[in-house]
Chains A and B, each alone.
Chain A
Amino acid sequence: MKSASAKRTVGAAFDVQRVRADFPILDIKVGGKPLVYLDNAASSQMPQPVIDRLVRYQREQHANIHRGVHYLSETATAEFEAARSKLARFVNAREEREVIFTSGTTEAINLVAHGYGRKFIATGDEIILTTLEHHSNIVPWQMLAEEKGAKIRVVPVNDAGELLVDEYEKLFNEHTRFVGLSHMSNALGTINPVKSMIAFAHARGVPVLLDGAQAAPHIAIDVQDLDCDFYAFSGHKLCGPTGIGMLYGKAAQLERMQPFKGGGDMILSVTFEKTTYNTIPHKFEAGTPPIAAAIGLGAAIDYLSNIGLETIAAHELELLDYATSEVNKLPGVRILGTAEHKAAVLSFIVEGVHPHDVGTLLNQDGIAVRTGHHCAQPVMRRFKVPATSRASFAFYNTMAEVDALVAGIRNVQKVFA
């Protein structure tokens, strides 16, 4: 990482104002009010070093990859593959070829449902998911189950929004073939006890996919320690560009899977009689990928790694604890998701006010929160609400922004009094 801006935080106490200076968008005004961006679980913002990296690639290094013998193609290929090795280190993969570039978490999960599921899951087999899953870790498995005549089993949660691990263990039987599990809930912020859940599944020969879309920005990921078979996340929630993400898969799993998309780059030879597929990771990367976005994601990983995931997590936990205690002081406001282990997400209900009205009024104060079902309708049903308002924090948020949120909620209550 060449950026001086990110480096200056290394080794020093975390200085949120210095970090904020790296994010030009945080200076904008919304309707004349300073932006208070608390929708990081949907998408986080991009720091200047990542923006600069995208521009430099486009100005000086762009060509198609894995093809030409010319200078630009070789440069672009080297930068693209360098981004892959950054991602491999970021999740502590054994090998770089265990990292597949995808368009995001959704495509990564679809890749596994197709590449693994359609090959190895058959009629009567069972797939275990949890109530906390985002729709993107439900629907691909439902499509697979419908096609194959397989069955989805669902792990319930308690009133705090924690998975009932006993119930999870009871769901296993001789038909269980796969587990899809969110590392961290997008709607409630719950961090699931994935390591022990993976060990339980492995003891029964069942592979596990972790949806890390929410966890990756907040928790240092070690796929070897977790021992997950697959791990998926998106670049744009990690201060990177949209349209890029990754699937980690154990090499042995990836090798026995069938390709997802057919096309260029994923083949070794093609005749009309027979096509020989490329080796991993290329087997799963048909067509020209979003090269700039992949390199930008590599720069974002550098940026975050320079600050340090532990530093990031510590600051975010302070924000969450402060926000939780301040919101708890407001009569008529209920927090959804009170798990012992949670991160960076505060879902809440203002009694008597629909979340969309909350969101629109907060927006008038310049405060960006997410309102709706958060693509997690089973969670909403479990807690018997149509929707919630969700504030989600990043390391560049401040205590003053939490105060602005709390003042904004008070204003909502005043308007609707």
Chain B
Amino acid sequence: MSDPKALYQEVILDHNRKPRNYGALADASHHAEGHNPLCGDHITMALRLDGDKVGAIAFEGESCAICKASASMLTTNVKGKSRDEAEVLIQEFRDMATGKLDVASEPHHLGRLTVFGGVRDLPTRVKCAILPWHTLHAALNSAGSTSTESEQDPMHAPIGDA
């Protein structure tokens, strides 16, 4: 088990403080909204495809630090990538967050995004990290909106409340 303290590493705190590519994107060709009703996280992801490549990407919204930093780092990692490359990152990020991909021993393309690996030990926070990636997936496929509580969501699982 990795030290969950590693979750709030400086890189994550920095992206939370100064999120990159934050704001609206005037000439977006694709966009989607993501919502986690359990904690109220809400983000929108907008991007412009230039041919097959992500030419520009931006996000905005209200969320916890994990979600915001994940979204910020998503934008810097996905910019310039092809759709297929982006989908690979989405899948790998999901697999890392849910413990299906061991980034220490298996090949991947996540680079610094592995700072989010610690969420797999915090089941209630997995959704926070993953929401921007779900939203990007929805945007690329023009699904319009996504929710961590949608039935199709592979992460769909009830979280207890009192």
- List the interface of chain A (C-beta within 8 A of B): 31, 41-43, 135, 186, 353-357, 360-361, 363-364, 370-375, 386-387, 415-416
Contact = CB atoms under 8 A, between A and B. Distances in A.
Contacts of B5: 364
Contacts of B38: 372
Top 8 A-B pairs, shortest CB-CB distance: A386-B40, A354-B64, A42-B162, A356-B64, A375-B161, A357-B65, A357-B64, A356-B39
A38 B125 CA distance: 20
Most buried by A among B4, B8, B40: B40
B65 A353 contact: yes
Most buried by B among A41, A354, A355, A364: A354
A354 B122 contact: no
26 contacts: A31-B4, A135-B161, A353-B65, A354-B39, A354-B64, A356-B39, A356-B64, A356-B66, A357-B8, A357-B64, A357-B65, A360-B4, A360-B8, A361-B8, A363-B4, A364-B4, A364-B5, A371-B39, A372-B39, A373-B161, A374-B162, A375-B162, A386-B62, A387-B39, A387-B40, A416-B16
A370 B124 CA distance: 12
B96 interface: no
A186 B13 CA distance: 32
Given A353-B65, A372-B39, 16 more contacts: A31-B4, A42-B162, A354-B39, A356-B66, A356-B124, A357-B66, A360-B122, A361-B8, A363-B4, A371-B39, A373-B40, A375-B161, A386-B39, A386-B62, A387-B39, A416-B65
Contacts of A416: 13, 16, 65
B74 interface: no
Contacts of B124: 356
Given A31-B4, A370-B162, A416-B13, A356 B62 contact: no
Interface of B: 4-5, 7-8, 13, 16, 38-40, 62-66, 122, 124-125, 128, 161-162
Contacts of B4: 31, 360, 363-364
A150 to B, nearest CB: 26
A374 B161 contact: yes
A360 B125 contact: yes
Nearest to B38: A372
A76 B66 CA distance: 51
B44 to A, nearest CB: 16
A43 B160 CA distance: 12
B132 to A, nearest CB: 15
A374 B4 CA distance: 24
Contacts of A356: 39, 64, 66, 124-125, 128
Nearest to A186: B162
B64 to A, nearest CB: 4
A413 B5 CA distance: 15
A135 B16 CA distance: 32
Most buried by B among A41, A360, A364: A360
Nearest to A237: B162
